[in-house]
Structure 1
Amino acid sequence: MEEIEAVYENGVFKPLRKPHLRDHEKVVIVIKERVVTGKFLQRLEKLSKTLPKFENPSRLIEEGRR
């Protein structure tokens, strides 16, 4: 099994990298929505710059469990 990102243009799926397939080989394509988008990552990066930094986040998690 191989997972390859593709772009759908004008009724054709175009892989973003060369798949390991022979010409005319039949495959099954499973369509998954992209959950994490570039816009989301940009917002996350911007937000992370405004939040305070913690020296030992693992310690805070353990304290929160007690």
Structure 2
Amino acid sequence: MLLSGIREYWVVDLQNSQLIVFRNPSSNQYLSEVKLTTGFISPQDFPNIQLEVQKMFSV
């Protein structure tokens, strides 16, 4: 795990209408990077919550 203790973080890229999700930290990087433009996602620590990806770009 990273020294920061951050297990997951999300970047909302409004310019390209995509959500970039970083998970599975190792000592100096995240082993998983997923780019989403549609569908639903749940935070790792709150699996019962589902967020619609496309709604994140509606500002």
Q: TM-score by structure 1 length?
A: 0.22
Give the number of the structure with larger relative contact order, counting CA–CA contacts within 8 Å between residues 6 or more apart. 2
Q: Specify which structure has the higher proportion of strand.
A: 2
Q: Specify which structure has the higher proportion of helix.
A: 1
Which has the higher Rg, Structure 1 or Structure 2?
1
